[in-house]
Structure 1
């Protein structure tokens, strides 16, 4: 995995992202990013998305501040509250109630920022601490940027009001445009500037010049990743697959809708296939995108 990330940096990618779940074996994302902080030099290191409820919040603040230091300020933290119908067991084994999960998430982020700035007490709607120990300050004043993953009306309002970036995965570029407008409206209502929130997109990508068997490959990937068929997942997540020209054109529609950073998850089962796709995206898709920066 470290070699994969190093190769991505060599190919010109701007960022590398680690996801988070307790449902199945994987390298824990903060451990992964800590390893990448010394193996890479330039790329942003991000979570997509971290699930803070499954970690003690004060310890998580220290871990994130540590990665921010180790990477010399290259960390971006996207957070989420999990998925209904899927994350209930994660809350149960973490001994955290699922109720008020959005309030808990926002409180956790506010607590992190308080700890990074040296505050010694915190009182939110869910979390309360009267006597916080001195914590590791972040590398950057105010801490690493914190993005929110989600596109519900509540998530859009909270993104504009509280967060530094937005990383949704809507299956239609038109929905992305509408959501981004709502985020910017919420930011303005909160007295923030329109560009206070970085607009990004989380998208699953598979380049294939052979249409036969493509849906079967996507279905296998979705079943392995979510335990759900492709036909179900495609209705709630951005999945772009097919010939390179089609993939580039579709991603370009998201860029025109306002997405400035494309976080591409490769829908391939093996590391060799993922490396092949990584190179195709860098050498074929990225040059075709009509956006000034980031993939």
Structure 2
């Protein structure tokens, strides 16, 4: 089991001392990695800039995007940007991509209509892999055209294991066809297991396989009662379902055990609140989960 920490500052803009303290505390307390969310029209900041700073103030923790919007980006420039970050951090980048949030403002920010996102994603991800391989890319597609274009640098390890987000059946099947791993979010253990099985079946149908260790889930946890507003993304959510989806800190260990039984081994844990002091928060989390440093 690897414990990763998700950074989503909510309504606050990222603050240098707060974010630096989080990064250094993760490293000193033995956590595996830092994962940042993306919302272009929110206050949380750019994921690549955040991870670049995290890489500069740490030496060991891995750096992940949970998840980065792909439609709306230029593949050659994004390939170079992420590979550069990987080089400067010593090969620690873990990219995970998605279609982006289902908000009109986000679609406008990326210059992509909602109905265009899937076709763009399907064209973009294979192009990124080709650029990261170091080949000179020739491609004439519906949105992008390249004639012998290569970008440098390439990833430190020669390629990235690319994870994908999403929970709809179409997104799960896409992950089975294109991804190296799946990062689920806001799903029950039973839903997570169903998603994993669908991804594995789809991968097998396309002559692929996904490493059993490449299934993870983002789990929000809370101190005290869960806000009623959390029911909005999941209409009809019962108190019991809400408690399972967003466990209290004390119940977190039991919740993770249920995900492990469903075939998951990587966990991005994200507190619902904004901790006043990250070191205190992470120490409490480590103690509850009996993590070894």
Please state which band the TM-score falls in when normalised by the shorter chain: 0.7 to 0.9
Q: How far 1:36 moved relative to its partner? A: 1.7
TM-score with structure 2 setting the length: 0.83
Q: How far 1:120 moved relative to its partner? A: 3.1
Residue 193 (structure 2) pairs with residue 191 (structure 1): no
Larger displacement relative to structure 2 (278-287 or 123-132): 123-132
**1:75-96 Cα deviation digits (max 9, x unpaired):** 1111111233x2x222223322
Alignment counterpart, residue 242 of structure 1, candidates 238, 241, 248:
248
Separation of aligned partners in 1, 2:122 and 2:57? 32
Alignment counterpart, residue 259 of structure 1, candidates 257, 264, 286:
264
1:222 corresponds in structure 2 to none
Q: Indicate the SS of the match to 1:192.
A: coil
Residue 96 (structure 2) pairs with residue 78 (structure 1): yes
Separation of aligned partners in 1, 2:290 and 2:170? 33
Q: Which runs of 5+ in 2 are unaligned?
A: 1-18
Tell me if the contact between 2:91 and 2:157 (Cα under 8 Å) persists in the aligned partners. Answer: no
Q: Which runs of 5+ in 1 are unaligned?
A: 220-228, 288-292
Larger displacement relative to structure 2 (177-186 or 19-28): 19-28
Alignment counterpart, residue 42 of structure 1, candidates 44, 53, 60:
60
Q: How far 1:181 moved relative to its partner? A: 0.9
1:58 corresponds in structure 2 to 76
Q: Which has the higher helix share?
A: 1
Separation of aligned partners in 1, 2:125 and 2:20? 28
Higher relative contact order (CA 8 A, sep 6+): 2
Runs of 4+ residues deviating >4 angstroms: 234-238
Matches within 5 A, 1:1-295: 1-84=19-102, 86=103, 88-123=104-139, 126-131=142-147, 133-195=149-211, 198-206=214-222, 208=223, 211=224, 214-215=225-226, 218-219=227-228, 229-233=229-233, 239-244=245-250, 246-272=251-277, 274-287=278-291
Separation of aligned partners in 2, 1:267 and 1:172? 17
TM-score with structure 1 setting the length: 0.82
Q: How far 1:180 moved relative to its partner? A: 0.6
**1:200-256 Cα deviation digits (max 9, x unpaired):** 0011112x3xx5xx23xx35xxxxxxxxx2222356997423251x22111210111
Aligned residues: 269
Task: Please provide the CA RMSD for this pair.
Answer: 2.5
